[in-house]
Structure 1
Amino acid sequence: MKKILLFVLFACTSFTAFSQAVKPMLLDKANVSANWMQIKNYYLLTLLQQDVEVSKMLINDPQLARLTKEKVDACTASLNCKEVSCFTANNKFSDTEIKLVSDRLQALYQPANPLGKLVQGKLTPSGRYNLYKDASPVELLVKAWEQDAAGINYVIDVYAGGQKPNYPQIDSISFNVKAKSYPIFLYNAAGVLAEDAKTEKLFFEPGMQAALLYLEINGRHDPANYEPMQNTVNKAAVEQIKITKWSTYPYSVILVPGAGADDLTTEITPDGMLRCRLAAQQYFKHAAPFIMVSGGKVHPYKTKYCEAEEMKKFLVETVHVPASAIIMEPHARHTTTNMRNGARLMFKYGIPLNKPGIVITDRSQTNGIINMAARCMRELKYVPYNLGKHISDTEIEFYPLTSALQINPYEPLDP
C-alpha cells in the first residue's frame, strides 16, 4: 500500500474577515498521483513521510526505531488474533506510545534543522492545525502529531471495531461486527497489513495504513472524490476565476447548501431544485460571478448521488447556468461543513476576500445558519466564517475565516 503522494498546501496568513488576500495553494510540481485520503486526514504524517531529511531523522532515532519495530511486530501478531478487539488494539496507538512520540519530536526539534524547517515552512502555513496557531512551533508540532494519532485511532475504532461515529445513520461501518465471520474478515485484512509492514520504516506507518485500509474496505473514499478538483469538475470555473472582473459584482460567490434525499433513487430533491433556482435568479441578476454548490454523498446511507454534482447538473441542464460559473464542493456532510468547505475553496482558488459571499437556501436553513455558531464550536471546535447582513429570508452574507482550514480528526469522511 505504498503511496506516491502529491502535496497540497494552503498558503495563508492571518487576516481580518473583511480584507486581505490569501494566496491559493502551493503544489508539489512532481507529476505524481495523490493519496487524498491520507493528505486530508493525516497531513502532518504525510509531511513527515514525504520529507527525505525529516524521515531520515525519525528513522535513525533509537526510541522511534524501537517503536517502529514494535508496531510492525504488532501487525504480524494480529495474525494470531481471534477477537475484534485484538485486531484493533494491535493497530492503534496507545497513550504511552503517543506520549513517547510527543517527547521525541520535542527533543528532536530545532528551529534550524530539517524538522524545524518543515514545521515553520510547511506545517504552520498550511493552516491545517489552526487550533494551535498561538502555540510555539514545537508545541504545534506535538499537537499536530497527537491530533493525527487520535484520528487514526478513531478510524480504527469506527471502521474496524464498529464503534458508533458522530453521525451513525450516515457514517457507520459497513459490516456486522457481531457476525461470526467478521474476525475472519479482519484476519484477511491483517494479512495485507502484515505484508505491507515489512517495508514500512516510520513509526506511524503501520497504524496509518491500517486506518486507510479500513476506510477503503468500507467503501469510504469520500474525501478523495473528484480530486484534484481544479483539474476535474472545477477546471472550467478555476480558469474563469483568473479572468473575472470582481469589481463589477457585489458578492464574490453564491453558496448553495445541498439537501439530501430520503431514498436511494432520488437524484436531486425538490428542496435542492428550489435552492438552485433561488441562486440562479441572483446569478442572472449579476449578484456574483459564481455559484458554489455544496454537499457530498450523504443521505441516505451510502447513496451513490452527490448533492453538489446533481445540483450542478440541474443548474446547467435545466436552468442554463454556464458550467464555467459553477464551483462544485462535493464533500460536505453537514451545514457546518457546507460553510467550512466553501470557505476552504475560496482560499484555495484565489477568490477575493474583500467582499462577502452570500448563502442562498430556504428560510429554515438560513435561520439555522444564523444560529449555528454554537453547533460549529461543538462539532468543529471553531467557527469557519463571520456572518454579514441578513438580506432576506433566504439570503445571508458571509466572510470566510482561516480557521476553516483546520482538520477535523473525528470526521474522516470529510476532515
Structure 2
Amino acid sequence: MRTKNFLIFFIACLFSFKSFSQTDFEKQYETFDYSIKSSVLEKRIFYLLYEMEKSSKIKKELGKDKILDNLYQQKISNLNNALNNCNDMQCLANALQVSDSENVAIDNALGKLYHQSKNIQSFVHNNIRASHRYELSNSLSDSLLLIRAWNEEAEGMNHIVNAYLLHKDLIYPTIDSAKYYSQSKGYFDTIKAFVENEISFPKKKKLNRFFFKPLPDIDLAILQLNGRNEAGRFEPVPSINIPAFKKVKSVDWNRYQYSSILVFGSGPGKETISFSKENQMRCDSAVALFKKGLAPFLIVSGGFAHPFMTHHCEAIEMRNYMVNKCGIPSNAVIIEPYARHTTTNIRNANRILIEHHFPLNKLVLGVSSKSHIDYITGEQFIKIFHRDIGFVPFTEMQRLSKCEASYLPAASSMQINSKEPLDP
C-alpha cells in the first residue's frame, strides 16, 4: 500500500511540473533542473493532438461523435482488462498501443467529421496546415492532411511504447533509450500505476473523455519518468537567442555570401568532459570564417546527446566558448540545442532559418571535421536521412574544402517527427 501511495504521489508530481522560464535559462542549465510540463512536450511531439485539446470547439465536435466515443470507451475497457490481467510488460504495452483496426476506424471517423463540420475544416486549414508541421503532406487536401497527421502521431505514440517499455525500434539505443530496465518488476509496477492514475479517477475521466485519451498522457509520463524530456527543455525560445533574432531584421544580406555558418556539435563521450577538443577545433574553424565576414550569424547545433543521459548540451558549450573565449558578440551566436544526430543538426538549423525569416535562397555554410564532412557529402548520408526522418531537408549540398560544405535549406525541414520524441 505504501508503494502504491508513493507511486500516486510521484505521478502527481509529474503532472505538476512548471513551465520553462526564460529568466531561469542559465540557472537551469547549471543545475540541470529541467521540470517540464507535459503540455510543452505534447505541443512539440503531438502537435495535432495538442491543438485539438486546446480548442473547445474541436473538442466539442469530436466529443459528440458516437464512433469516436465508442472507441474511447473500448480503449478504457481494454486498459482496465490489462491492469487486471497483465503480468508482463509486453501484455501491458499491447493495450497501450493504437491498433490497426482502431486506426482505420479513427481515420474514417475523422474523414466523415471533416466533411460535416465547418469548424473542423477551419481548424485544419488555419491551425494544422498553416503550422507547416506536416509539410510533407502539403500537397494533400485538408481532409487527407488531417488523417495523415493523426496517423503520424498514432505511430509516434506506438513508438514511445515500443522504445521505452519494450526497448524496441530505437535507431540509436546507446543514447536514446530508457533510463530503466524494461523488464524490471519495479518499472512494470510504476507503468501500471501511471495507467491506473489516468483512467481511474472520476474527475480526470470526465475531463479527458476524448477519443485518443489517455494514451498520449501516459506516453508523455513514460518519457518524464525516464528523464527523456529533452524535447521541451528549451521551450519557449531560449532567451540567449533573442538578441540574435532581433538582429536578423536589420541585416543587409547583400553583404554576406552565406545566411549563416552552421557548426556541427560533437559530444565529448565522457560525462566528466563538458567541451571536447573536437568541438573546440570545429568552433575555431567557424569563428575564423565568421571573422572573415562570410555570414552574419553562427548557428551552433547539438543537444544532450553523448554520452547517454548527459547533462551537457553541445550547443550551449559551443556558444559559451565562442562568446567567452573567442570574443564573438552574443547576438551573433544562435544555439540549436535539440539535435542528437547529424541529420537533425541540418533539419533543426533550417527550422530556425525558416521561422526567423532568413533568406532561404542564400547558402548555409557547414563547418565540421574532415571525416564528418566526408560523411555529410557522401552518398550514404542521403540514405540515412530517409531512414531517420523520412526526407532530405536540403538541396545543392556540395563540399567546399576539407572541413566545409554548403547547401540550401528546404521547406520540408518544418515537418515534425513524432517517432523521434527526444527531438521531434
Do Structure 1 and Structure 2 share a fold, with TM-score over 0.5? Answer: yes
Kept after mapping to 2: 8 A contact 1:75/1:190: yes
Kept after mapping to 2: 8 A contact 1:72/1:197: no
Kept after mapping to 1: 8 A contact 2:377/2:398: no
Cα deviation for residue 140 of structure 1 reads 1.5
Select which of 15, 22, 38 maps to 2:42: 38
**CA deviation digits over 1:333-389, x for unaligned, max 9?**
110110000101111112122311110111111121112222112221110011355
Give secondary structure in 2 for the equivalent of 1:227.
Answer: coil
1:326 aligns to what?
333
Kept after mapping to 1: 8 A contact 2:38/2:221: no
2:258 aligns to what?
251
Cα deviation for residue 112 of structure 1 reads 6.7
**1:177 maps to 2:182:** yes
Percent identity of equivalent pairs: 31
1:59-74 aligned within 5 A: 59-74=63-78
- Separation in 2 of the partners of 1:205 and 1:267? 40
Q: CA RMSD in A?
A: 2.2
- Separation in 2 of the partners of 1:234 and 1:155? 30
1:224 aligns to what?
232
Select which of 214, 217, 229 maps to 1:206: 214
- Separation in 2 of the partners of 1:188 and 1:68? 20
- Separation in 1 of the partners of 2:17 and 2:60? 18
- Separation in 2 of the partners of 1:309 and 1:34? 24
Matched to 1:405, the amino acid is M
Kept after mapping to 1: 8 A contact 2:39/2:50: no
- Separation in 2 of the partners of 1:34 and 1:190? 15
Give secondary structure in 2 for the equivalent of 1:272.
Answer: helix
Give secondary structure in 1 for the equivalent of 2:406.
Answer: strand
- Separation in 2 of the partners of 1:56 and 1:189? 27
2:137 aligns to what?
132
Which runs of structure 1 show a deviation greater than 6 angstroms over 4 or more consecutive aligned residues?
Answer: 2-6
Label 1:68 to 1:41 Cα distance change in 2 as closer, same or farther (>3 A).
Answer: same
Label 1:49 to 1:215 Cα distance change in 2 as closer, same or farther (>3 A).
Answer: same
2:375 aligns to what?
368
Give secondary structure in 2 for the equivalent of 1:35.
Answer: helix
Cα deviation for residue 252 of structure 1 reads 0.8
- Separation in 1 of the partners of 2:189 and 2:414? 39
2:91 aligns to what?
86
2:150 aligns to what?
145
Cα deviation for residue 291 of structure 1 reads 0.3
- Comparing 87-96 with 251-260, which one deviates more in the overlay? 87-96
- Comparing 68-77 with 258-267, which one deviates more in the overlay? 68-77
Matched to 2:257, the amino acid is P
Label 1:327 to 1:34 Cα distance change in 2 as closer, same or farther (>3 A).
Answer: farther
- Separation in 1 of the partners of 2:402 and 2:98? 48
2:58 aligns to what?
54
Aligned length: 388
**CA deviation digits over 1:227-284, x for unaligned, max 9?**
112x523112112212222222111100001001221111011110010011100111
Select which of 156, 161, 164 maps to 1:156: 161
Kept after mapping to 2: 8 A contact 1:297/1:307: yes
2:404 aligns to what?
395
- Comparing 405-414 with 270-279, which one deviates more in the overlay? 405-414
**CA deviation digits over 1:199-226, x for unaligned, max 9?**
2021112011111110110100111112
2:323 aligns to what?
316
- Separation in 1 of the partners of 2:410 and 2:320? 29
Matched to 1:296, the amino acid is G
Matched to 1:124, the amino acid is R
1:274 aligns to what?
281
**CA deviation digits over 1:101-127, x for unaligned, max 9?**
000011111287111112222222222
**1:386 maps to 2:395:** yes
- Separation in 2 of the partners of 1:246 and 1:338? 23
Matched to 1:163, the amino acid is K
Matched to 2:261, the amino acid is I
Give secondary structure in 1 for the equivalent of 2:268.
Answer: coil
**CA deviation digits over 1:291-342, x for unaligned, max 9?**
0000000011001000001001111111111111110000001101100001
- Separation in 2 of the partners of 1:52 and 1:178? 40
- Separation in 2 of the partners of 1:363 and 1:272? 13
1:412 aligns to what?
421
- Separation in 1 of the partners of 2:104 and 2:401? 51
Kept after mapping to 1: 8 A contact 2:89/2:183: no
Kept after mapping to 2: 8 A contact 1:255/1:291: yes
Select which of 100, 111, 118 maps to 1:95: 100
Give secondary structure in 1 for the equivalent of 2:185.
Answer: coil
TM-score (structure 2 length as normaliser) = 0.86
Matched to 2:121, the amino acid is G
- Comparing 301-310 with 388-397, which one deviates more in the overlay? 388-397
- Comparing 170-179 with 321-330, which one deviates more in the overlay? 170-179
